[in-house]
Amino acid sequence: MLCLNGFRRLLSLINPFKHSILTFQYFSHKVLRWTIVPFAFILGFLINILIVYSLPSNNLYNVLLIIQYIFYGLSVVGWFMKNFKTRLKTLFIPYYILVMNISIILGYYRYIFGKQSINWEKVKCT
């Protein structure tokens, strides 16, 4: 996995006593984003659904669930519009965020089950 290999390569630089800012930047921007955030998307959505259905009178979680539905809806719209030339580039932000996190989860799956090749493959252009 890219994150784990990169972490091993930069182990000498990741010393909070010697390089405090670099360590914080690397850990927060790379390690947390590649290990926790993809699963937090799924877990946060499922937990929010459970909270809304168990406590329907709590307006904060109702609003948060609506925002999550809008985010995922905009992701679907971005997916449909990815092949069209459009000026509404903001529609691709939720799509990009979701696709990147799904790709990280799929990468973990391939890595765990030994289906990830370390060799580069040429991309087939269609």
| Residue range 70-88: mean pLDDT, rounded | 84
DSSP string, 62-124: HHHHHHHHHHHHHHHHHHHHTTS--S-GGGHHHHHHHHHHHHHHHHHHHHHTT---SS--PPP
| Residue range 112-119: mean pLDDT, rounded | 75
- Model confidence pLDDT, tens digit, residues 5-30: 666 776 777 777 887 888 888 777 77
